[in-house]
Structure 1
């Protein structure tokens, strides 16, 4: 593969994150069998109305990303303002996105119970150093790709400290924190041109193992599950290397089995469950066992489960490796806020937003959420008038 300019990889990574998120968001929570029953094979943006007929709040505007990308863009803006991640300004930005006050959600799209709890505590004035939830969720990892791009070749304490500051505001479980480290290091390595081969998994596993040790040494007073799962993330990634030559169904089953060895609650039933030792090794496995951006993203979103998050994580990895030109035009053309995402990618590589007219994040996300609300109302009206809730309408 020819050497790609850093900007091409950064644009590919941030756009890949948003596209994977937008493609997967309407499918979140469905099984692979349910996706096939409602849509066949999903290869483009859908609105989700066909699968979620009785749950309009699950309907999505085609081409619009969810909270995974919103939080990644928030990290971009804090990095560009501060040259690192700091908890207080990040919390303030999350709260600005949650306006109007008292809503707890505001323009945050598709957030889960844990993040709603974080917003609620932040609105009540709880310090962001005390709002991290104890469950082993995937939210810290889904948004972290911009740090891998921004710090690039830098493996210094600043990368580690910024990942921790970005993650502890929502998560305190070692598996969640190490999962964020895994994605940051994997994106960093892909953006630096590391080979997409089996040894890549072992290098990332080694990065994560060092981070796990450092987390235990520096944050042992606040991090949970350290005694039970101190090396779960690095071990599950290393285990994925042994599965690369297996048939797909056997490899996915083995990824699920391995995840359950690391304390999945509830028990992991699919490789794309939003549990770091399941979701992240699965994304890395698909990165290495597919041959294009398009093939990999279509495969992961059609597995169902936490489809928006697996789409976002894998999209960021694929884009950092293949570059922006590998992303299908049909996905780029219908992606909302493409310009705002690309401008942030350029600013990350320059480490400066000077001279770039980046849209204000809060203003833009309020606008996009209002557009999605209007889209949902049109779908509801169409349904109430006896219309078919099809899969690929343009609204």
Structure 2
């Protein structure tokens, strides 16, 4: 897998990019946390418990306010895998899907083990973060697809009947590879999605989400980025469900003021194409980050995943300064997410200065081992 030529970054471009990376990862986590406490509730139940407007703030989940779920956990390990892929490129071994697969296997270990131990020393710093060792309703396809060391591929995918949203919700980081050509971003996201979700809708929706984020990270408007994803999808066998869902999202924007009923007309979000459609619709009609995220979680369905996907879109579009500060302050794992976001931005903009020919930062290979 080849990529575009190395991007030359000026200081202003680096600052803008870092703000979008932070916005993407923190925004996704905020949306995840907003939906975590109502994930399995109907809209009627949400309104009965929280009032006619539904939730308007974090509600307790997993013993605290601002708790994140497997959506954020897996997204963070995706980022870790992408950094390590770029570090390992120096060795001549360049196959990012393998590095992502290994990263997701490290996530799977957090779902089995009580916490990090001496065996985690070779796994880099993220795998030693104790707060990540928590089961937050992980999807069966993710757990099953990562239950052994065999890596699924689009030609021989894991869970070939699965089109749940578990691959979409972790795929925003691929879109942050702004130095890559769009079709390669799409291809990588698809290949990595097939490691757990083998139905074409499951992995193509993940690729479309990554491509939309990629357009936003490059400064495109959201509508234009969605149109670009539709053009790419049209070249792929089995794209019809994902394409139709995105078109329904675009059509819903023109049907009047945004409401929970209009969100629910796009589905419940348990499947890949529905989760993507709901998130895209809510991001398109959002007055601001708060409005879009609350719209994305107040429905009968997979509220944390639709919130997470929408938050990644809006965070990439507007950058970190658009994040509501009160939600940011209570977010579980904020320091870890911010540290990882900055490491990702540093690797993507300054990688050759960290581990180029004849240059090596001793700290970087320890944080992101090449193995």
TM-score when normalising by structure 1: 0.71
Please give the secondary structure, in 2, of the residue aligned with 1:312.
Answer: helix
State yes or no: 1:144 paired with 2:155. Answer: no
Q: Note if contact 1:29-1:304 (Cα within 8 Å) is conserved in structure 2.
A: yes
Partner Cα separation in structure 2 for residue 109 and residue 277 of structure 1: 22
State yes or no: 1:36 paired with 2:47. Answer: yes
Residue 72 of structure 1: CA displacement?
Answer: 0.4
2:272 paired residue among 257, 272, 276: 276
The total of aligned residue pairs comes to 313
Residue 90 of structure 1: CA displacement?
Answer: 3.0
Q: Note if contact 1:255-1:278 (Cα within 8 Å) is conserved in structure 2.
A: no
State yes or no: 1:85 paired with 2:97. Answer: yes
* Residue of structure 2 in register with 1:118 after alignment: 145
Deviations 1:324-352 (A, max 9, x none): 11111111111121121112222222326
Partner Cα separation in structure 2 for residue 146 and residue 249 of structure 1: 28
* Residue 240 to residue 161, structure 1, CA distance change in 2 (3 Å): closer
Residue 34 of structure 1: CA displacement?
Answer: 0.8
Q: Note if contact 2:297-2:306 (Cα within 8 Å) is conserved in structure 1.
A: yes
* Residue 126 to residue 204, structure 1, CA distance change in 2 (3 Å): closer
* Residue of structure 1 in register with 2:252 after alignment: 243
* Residue of structure 1 in register with 2:113 after alignment: 100
Residue 252 of structure 1: CA displacement?
Answer: 5.1
* Residue 111 to residue 76, structure 1, CA distance change in 2 (3 Å): same
Residue 242 of structure 1: CA displacement?
Answer: 2.6
* Residue 15 to residue 253, structure 1, CA distance change in 2 (3 Å): closer
Q: Note if contact 2:171-2:189 (Cα within 8 Å) is conserved in structure 1.
A: yes
Partner Cα separation in structure 1 for residue 103 and residue 207 of structure 2: 18
* Residue of structure 1 in register with 2:23 after alignment: 12
Partner Cα separation in structure 2 for residue 128 and residue 106 of structure 1: 24
Q: Note if contact 1:91-1:128 (Cα within 8 Å) is conserved in structure 2.
A: no
* Residue 44 to residue 107, structure 1, CA distance change in 2 (3 Å): same
Deviations 1:131-182 (A, max 9, x none): 3352210110000001101x11422564244213321111000111111011
1:286 paired residue among 268, 277, 282: 282
TM-score when normalising by structure 2: 0.75
Aligned counterparts, 1:168-187, within 5 A: 168-187=194-213
Point out the more displaced range, 310-319 or 174-183: 174-183
Residue 22 of structure 1: CA displacement?
Answer: 0.9
State yes or no: 1:65 paired with 2:68. Answer: yes
* Residue of structure 2 in register with 1:383 after alignment: none
Q: Note if contact 1:243-1:251 (Cα within 8 Å) is conserved in structure 2.
A: no
1:232 paired residue among 234, 237, 241: 241
Residue 273 of structure 1: CA displacement?
Answer: 2.5
* Residue of structure 2 in register with 1:296 after alignment: 292
| Structure 2: segments with no counterpart, 5+ residues | 1-12, 87-95, 115-131, 355-360
Partner Cα separation in structure 1 for residue 341 and residue 35 of structure 2: 22
| Structure 1: segments with no counterpart, 5+ residues | 49-58, 217-225, 260-270, 362-395
Deviations 1:259-308 (A, max 9, x none): 6xxxxxxxxxxx33212232211211111112100110111111241000
